Amino acid sequence: MFFYSFAVFAGIFSVLLLVSLLPRRWETFSQEEDVTICVNQVGIHTNIIIPVQNNIYNWQHFLNLKEIGKQPSGNYQYLGFGWGDRDFYPTNPSQIQEIVSLGIQALFFSRGSLMRVEGYPEIPQSHDIHCVGVNTSNYLNTVHFIQNSFELTPQGQTILFVRSDESDASYYEAKGHYSLLRNSNNWTAEGLRQANINTPLWAGIPQAVMFHVSRNPN
């Protein structure tokens, strides 16, 4: 019985790994570059990084920037957005027992989700980041996707869950449930597709997201 279950799980994982190598579309697509959307990888997660404000949209109309981070000044130029399981995401476990326990719970028994918002004074300088220029309409599509991922009060306000003790990030109540088929990287890919940025057929692995984003025209 154990061998059968393991074989089924291994088979499913192999199929998902294969489709993560395939792009959602094969043709290249170029668009006017009115604004830049960036994607970075931090551990097993990916994040969408966009300007706090430009001539298209000002995030200060939606978020209180002084709620973000351990020592918030609100003087951020860019915001990084991610989505994940409400128990695993803010905990960031380091012990293998915690990783396995919380990971299994997140994949199969998620109690809900959170949005992670991190403030940056500038675009992070790292080899684990790729940026793509998009037009105004596609950029706004991604903005609306991100906004629609937040759980809001009846008055339309975001709901702060907790501030990070280690970074310029805060966690907010979000919509949806984390699972094996829809994890944080799948969320990132969904947001990028709103801007007509090509992504993998299955985006559950961060490396797959970063690889396919890097192949978009810049």
Q: What are phi and psi of 200, to 5 degrees?
A: -70, 160
Neighbours of 107 (CB within 10 A): 15
In terms of Cβ atoms closer than 10 Å to its own Cβ (0-12, 13-18, 19+), residue 156 is exposed
Tens of pLDDT along the chain (218 residues) come to 545 544 544 555 566 666 556 565 656 666 778 999 999 998 888 999 999 999 999 999 999 999 998 766 778 999 999 998 887 677 764 444 444 454 445 455 566 799 999 999 999 887 789 999 999 999 999 999 999 999 999 999 999 999 887 778 999 999 988 877 788 999 999 999 999 999 987 788 899 999 889 887 66
Residue ranges covered by each domain of the chain: 2-214
Helices (runs of H) and strands (runs of E) counted in the chain: 5, 7
- Which pLDDT belongs to residue 5? 47
* Global confidence as pTM: 0.84
HSE-CB of 138 using CA atoms within 13 angstroms? 21
The span from the CA of 105 to the CA of 128, in Å, is 28
Going by C-alpha positions, the residue among 210, 200, 147, 149 that lies closest to residue 178 is: 149
In terms of Cβ atoms closer than 10 Å to its own Cβ (0-12, 13-18, 19+), residue 93 is middle
3-state secondary structure of 206: helix
